[in-house]
């Protein structure tokens, strides 16, 4: 019976141990190791992804609320206080409104209010606007309006600039046309040189080229000495496309096919030269002897080709022969700036040389 029991015991052990051994095959071992490694890898990747997302979120520029001030003359409190008080409207357009505002320390500023929920509602647009505004606040040139501060309230951005008592070139030329003000050729040429020096700074002197995108007389402010300062530089770019305005100052390639380069700014500058030379308002078709002769650009090109360029010059400032010769040379430069092909237009660098060589300021 003892032998029988031993046999029985042995047979029981064999019955238990054989299936287990047969299950732990090299295949199973390899599979377990591989699946272990894979699970570990996937968990590590998921963890790394989560950590990356958290770090990215924490690193994101915070969207600032309230005033961001770049000038020692402005305090956030005085700005916030003035924004709540009565302010005077200076100008209005689809991109926003310009107001005049007096701070409690007596400083007079011009405030441009930008935005609407659909234009600046999303966080990414607000963040992008904020980044661009910081960049614009860093620009410093005597022919540029400096951004002194900005305030974000909900969906609205208020941009703060120095107030210019002489207003814009448009305001001044309106007075000139209404015979309320006389603006001689030397001052007009100085205005032209200042504008193109501002453009030269944006196009060639900044870390990355900046284009104005909306150069026209309402965006050229004049200080008390009639020194011009470009306003709204690059603002049209940071506003959504639907808000960019096309005017008679826009280059053909930008109004027709939305292509914009530094040479498109030069076309707009050419239109401003045309305004300074003729005193005319290019938003109106040119009428000679009661008949319309097309746009200001077409009229200037026609007169130049037919040898009648003198006819274009503003009669109210014609006098000295030297000045008249200078004006005729500027007219030639104007026509090159208004070339249909951007490559045919001079750069702002070249224009600074061309215009300063005409006259020693
Ligand atoms: N810093 C400032 N100082 C004094 N007046 C200003 C100042 N900024 C703007 N203005 C006034 O506001 C007017 C321009 O308003 P605004 O920029 O809204 O018009 P716009 O140039 O036609 O518009 P946009 O530039 O968006 O196409 C100027 O003609 C000027 O009278």
CB of 93 sitting under 6 A from ligand 1: yes
How far CA 72 is from CA of 49, 164, 180, in Å, comes to: 44, 19, 37
162 Cα nearest atom in ligand 1? 1
Q: What is the pLDDT along the chain (361 residues), one digit of tens a residue?
A: 445 554 455 444 444 555 666 677 888 889 999 999 999 999 999 999 999 988 877 666 656 666 888 888 888 878 777 777 666 777 766 666 788 888 888 888 999 887 665 555 677 777 888 888 888 889 999 999 999 998 887 777 889 999 999 999 999 999 999 999 999 999 999 999 999 999 999 999 998 899 999 999 999 999 999 999 999 888 777 665 544 578 899 999 999 988 999 999 999 999 999 999 999 999 988 888 778 888 999 999 999 999 999 999 998 888 778 889 999 999 999 999 999 999 999 999 999 999 999 876 6
- Please enumerate in sequence order all residues whose Cβ is within 8 A of that of 214, keeping only pairs 6 or more positions apart, or say none: 232, 235, 236, 244, 245, 268
Its sign, for the CA torsion 234, 240, 241, 246, is: negative
- Ligand 1: which residue has its CA nearest to atom 12? 91
Distance from the CA of 90 to the center of ligand 1, in angstroms?
7
Distance from the CA of 91 to the center of ligand 1, in angstroms?
5
CB 182 within 8 A of CB 318: no
Is the interface score ipTM higher than 0.90?
Answer: yes
Distance from the CA of 241 to the center of ligand 1, in angstroms?
20
Q: Which of 94, 212, 218, 239 to mutate to test the pocket of ligand 1 (most atoms within 8 A of CB)?
A: 218
216 Cα nearest atom in ligand 1? 21
CB of 163 sitting under 6 A from ligand 1: yes
Q: pTM score, two decimals?
A: 0.80
Angle at 285 between CA 280 and CA 291, to 5 degrees: 105
CB of 164 sitting under 6 A from ligand 1: yes
């Amino acid at each position: 019976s003892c032998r029988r029991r031993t046999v029985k015991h042995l047979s029981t052990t064999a019955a238990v141990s054989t299936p287990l051994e047969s299950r732990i095959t090299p295949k199973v071992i390899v599979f377990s190791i591989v699946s272990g490694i894979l699970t570990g890898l996937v968990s590590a990747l998921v963890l790394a992804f989560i950590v990356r997302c958290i770090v990215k979120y924490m690193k994101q520029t915070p969207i600032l609320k309230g005033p961001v001030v770049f000038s020692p003359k402005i305090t956030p409190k005085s700005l916030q206080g003035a924004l709540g008080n009565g302010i005077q409207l200076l100008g209005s357009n689809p991109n926003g409104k310009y107001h005049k505002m007096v701070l409690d320390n007596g400083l007079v500023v011009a405030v441009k209010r930008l935005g609407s929920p659909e234009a600046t509602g999303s966080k990414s647009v607000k963040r992008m606007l904020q980044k661009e505004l910081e960049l614009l606040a860093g620009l410093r040139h005597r022919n540029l309006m400096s951004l002194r501060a900005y305030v974000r309230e909900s969906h609205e951005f208020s941009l703060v600039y120095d107030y210019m008592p002489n207003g814009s070139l448009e305001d001044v030329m309106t007075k000139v046309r209404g015979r309320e003000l006389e603006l001689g050729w030397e001052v007009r040429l100085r205005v032209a040189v200042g504008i193109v020096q501002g453009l030269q700074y944006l196009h060639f002197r900044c870390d990355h080229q900046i284009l104005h995108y909306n150069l026209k007389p309402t965006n050229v402010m004049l200080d008390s000495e009639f020194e011009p300062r470009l306003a709204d530089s690059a603002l049209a770019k940071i506003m959504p496309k639907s808000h960019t305005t096309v005017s008679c100052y826009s280059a053909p390639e930008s109004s027709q096919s939305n292509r914009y380069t530094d040479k498109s700014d030069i076309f707009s500058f050419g239109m401003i030269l045309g305004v300074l030379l003729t005193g005319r308002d290019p938003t109106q078709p040119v009428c000679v002897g009661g008949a319309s002769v097309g746009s200001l650009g077409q009229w200037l090109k026609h007169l130049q080709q037919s040898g009648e360029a003198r006819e274009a010059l503003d009669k109210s400032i014609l006098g000295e022969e030297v000045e008249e010769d200078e004006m005729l040379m500027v007219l030639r430069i104007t026509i090159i700036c208004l070339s249909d092909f951007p490559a045919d237009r001079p750069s702002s660098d070249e224009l600074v040389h061309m215009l300063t060589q005409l006259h020693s300021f």
